[in-house]
Amino acid sequence: MANMSLKKVKMDEQDPNLRNKNFLEVALGYTLEEAIEEANRCIECKHSPCKNGCPVNIQIPEFIHAIKNGDIEEAYSIVTDDNGLPAICGRVCPQENQCEGRCVRAIKGESVGIGRLERFVADWHMANAKDKKVEIKKKTEKVAIVGSGPASLSCAADLAKYGYDVTMFEALHELGGVLMYGIPEFRLPKDLVQKEINQVLNLGVKVEKNVIIGKSLDIEDLFEDGFKAVFIGSGAGLPRFMNVPGEDLNGVYSSNEFLTRVNLMKAYDFPNNHTPVRLGDIVAVIGGGNVAMDAARTAKRLGAKEVHVIYRRSMEELPARQEEIHHAIEEEIQFDLLRNPVEVLGEDTIVKGIRVIKMELGEPDESGRRRPVPIKGSEYIMDVDNVIIAIGQTPNPLLINTTKELKTNNRGCIMVNEETMETTMKNVYAGGDAVTGAATVILAMGAGKQAAKSIHNKLVFDSRK
């Protein structure tokens, strides 16, 4: 029976005062009954605008229809026809700007909770079903994939399903890219990421960890080794800095280093794990995106008494997802808005504070947002023990600098033909953050899938020559 409630079925969450002291997942997911109740909010409208909002074209009304019938395995099978990482995407996709942003129920009330339902079917499958062995007719051609983030995982999975002999080369000792080293455990549990990665590996994808393409091996070496095509999904892992005095003091972290120490090296479990993070009582996080929210909420969980997000525009312009801002406020993160650090202050090489200037909003800039303008004479000093800089990331230049045939734009992103994802180097394709700059998981996955299709078409064409 249709559920005409204007609001999504509530999803339970850990209490803010408990969860800001632990790394367990914040949102607890739907029960079967709750999922069916939420699925019944979908009116299966004629034009299904939600589908057009999904970068990987999941058949959304169809999978929701299967949930209504209580056939969760069928729902899972429909979702995974287009998206091999549904437990991940159900948790971290910005659905409000994509599928849910186009849902007709959102015209009057809240959209259908498509992300929550996607998460539900993925979690249900992991808890209740056995993966079926997929029979794939093997081809002889080898394809190399650089990196193992969402762009690479989806490219590798699709190529393996076409039958290619696929090897992923990953610089780190763990697969998953930002899914493993960036997004914190309390938003995206790592055992779950590993399970979805395992499903890609079960398709026969091979892995070489601790190999940096551009350093340990060049792209040319891969072709000499017999690989017929290469996909680059090397992400955007180079942190931006503020370029203010004192940024090199002890106690200043890039968000990248901070989150990697905590997530990948499990600093929250020190001394059981050997990578500590030194944090004092007062932490300033600079920036206003999802990465800043993740760093701030992580610092709070590690025991910081006060965590301040310092952002140069106002609350309205904060680029982080509304849900993440809401969670951060509930967890007592403080927002110091219309502020910008101009100096990090220290004593004996250790951070002691920051000098901050107040800002006001002027005319819109090229991004369409009102430009923050410093207010003369408004500087003041804030005592802080740590500074975490989360003002953006760009593609790591290593691979690009050592591979001269790859052309990049003025932001250091690899240039591709947008239809085929082929780079300026023959038989080399790229996608994800390495091409777009820091973006989203689902866009990276969409690009990986698009590249897989082009690589397949190209190799089929070459084999007929």
Ligand X SMILES: Cc1cc2nc3c(=O)[nH]c(=O)nc-3n(C[C@H](O)[C@H](O)[C@H](O)COP(=O)(O)OP(=O)(O)OC[C@H]3O[C@@H](n4cnc5c(N)ncnc54)[C@H](O)[C@@H]3O)c2cc1C
Name the residues that contact ligand X, by CB under 6 A: 92-94, 146-152, 169-172, 177-178, 182-183, 212-214, 233-235, 237, 259, 290-291, 294, 396, 398-399, 432-434, 438-442, 444
Strand partners for 100: none
Q: How far is the CB of 389 from ligand X (least distance, A)?
A: 13
Residue 88 tokens, joined: 């991940």
In the complex, least distance from residue 406 CB atom to ligand X, rounded to whole angstroms: 12
CA atoms within 13 A on the CB side of 392: 11
Q: Which is nearer to ligand X, 356 or 442 (CB)?
A: 442
Alpha-carbon radius of gyration of the chain: 23
CB of 240 to ligand X, least distance (A): 12
Cβ neighbours of residue 315 under 8 Å, at least 6 residues apart?
325, 335, 337
Return the number of the residue (149 or 353) whose C-beta is nearest ligand X: 149
Distance CA(254)–CA(262), nearest Å, equals 13
Contact (Cβ atoms closer than 8 angstroms) between residue 64 and residue 72: no
Select 34 or 324, whichever has its Cβ closest to ligand X: 324
Tell me how many degrees the CA angle 95-98-99 measures, rounded to the nearest 5.
80
Residue 74's Cβ-count burial label (10 Å; 0-12, 13-18, 19+) is middle
72 or 144, CB closer to ligand X?
Answer: 144
If the CB atoms of residues 20 and 167 are measured against ligand X, the closer one turns out to be 167
Token digits of residue 34: 């709750």
Alpha-carbon distance values, 435 to 66, 111, 416, 439 (Å): 36, 31, 7, 10
Q: What stretches of 362-414 show up as alpha helix (H) in DSSP?
A: 397-402
- In whole angstroms, the minimum distance from the beta carbon of 455 to ligand X comes to 16
Closest to ligand X by CB, 212 vs 361, is: 212
Minimum gap (Å) between residue 106 Cβ and ligand X: 20
Helix (H, G, I), strand (E, B) or coil at 354: strand
Smallest separation, CB 37 to ligand X (Å): 26
Which one, 69 or 401, has the nearer CB to ligand X? 401
96 or 343: CB nearest ligand X: 96
Min dist CB 232 to ligand X, Å, is 8
Q: Please, which residue, 138 or 411, has the CB nearer to ligand X?
A: 411
What is 151-201 written as a DSSP string? HHHHHHHHHHHHT-EEEEE-SSSSSSTHHHHTS-TTTS-HHHHHHHHHHHH
CB of 331 to ligand X, least distance (A): 16
Minimal distance, residue 151 CB to ligand X, in Å? 3
Measured from the CB atom, the residue of 39 and 428 that comes closer to ligand X is: 428
* Nearest distance from C-beta of residue 293 to ligand X, angstroms: 8
Exposed / middle / buried, residue 128 (Cβ in 10 Å: 0-12, 13-18, 19+): exposed
> Nearest-CA neighbor of 29 among 143, 189, 175, 150?
189
Q: Rounded to an integer, what distance in angstroms lies between the CA atom of residue 271 and that of residue 280?
A: 17
